[in-house]
A and B are shown apart, each in its own frame.
Chain A
Amino acid sequence: EAAVTQSPRNKVTVTGGNVTLSCRQTNSHNYMYWYRQDTGHGLRLIHYSYGAGNLQIGDVPDGYKATRTTQEDFFLLLELASPSQTSLYFCASSGAGTGVPGQLYFGEGSKLTVL
């Protein structure tokens, strides 16, 4: 069973705070993604990666950094969090490996609130 695990599941921080969202996949997938989901919007792609050390810019990258340390681990960093980054964040993976090739496998989401 393809698996993507995110942590923390819920996070509250203040404006200007530093937040790291973590994602680990055990699917042996090469691609990993960070999306955000806001009311009235579809999921929007922040950053993605096709392997350890690689980072690609998505559609809404401003205010976010990301790092892919291993094939399994992909981190999203908010160094100066703002209320506009309050959102539900999803990590996903895809590629050859466990599961259906090319299909996206999502984590359960990380709800971030910036006060």
Chain B
Amino acid sequence: GDSVTQTEGPVTVSESESLIINCTYSATSIAYPNLFWYVRYPGEGLQLLLKVITAGQKGSSRGFEATYNKETTSFHLQKASVQESDSAVYYCALGNTGANTGKLTFGHGTILRVHP
């Protein structure tokens, strides 16, 4: 079946440092998967951070970016300079195009702690 593997957390960085959270996927049932990063801030539900539906394309939001690499089956999340407010849990996910786009396969989530 489909699966997503991401960096084991927690990841601890200092404010203004760079960040990379690795994500690799295996899509056995989906020919052209859509890839997502969701984020869950403390006390809140998950919200979409960024989404890329075409291999080779890059998505970006709030200073984060991720490139859909079909050759390495990866979708790593990067940020050049993190802020304390970025402390959250980050989830990589893959899904299919079409009407039922909420049926996603998620990674286990990576806790990010940013120290001032």
Contact = CB atoms under 8 A, between A and B. Distances in A.
Interface of A: 4, 31, 33, 35, 37, 40-45, 48, 50, 58, 90, 92-95, 100, 102-109
Interface residues of B, number: 22
B104 interface: yes
B2 to A, nearest CB: 10
Contacts, number: 64
Contacts of B47: 105-106
A41 B43 CA distance: 19
B61 to A, nearest CB: 12
Contacts of A108: 43-45
Contacts of B107: 42
A37 B99 CA distance: 24
Given A40-B108, A42-B108, A107 B102 contact: no
Nearest to A108: B45
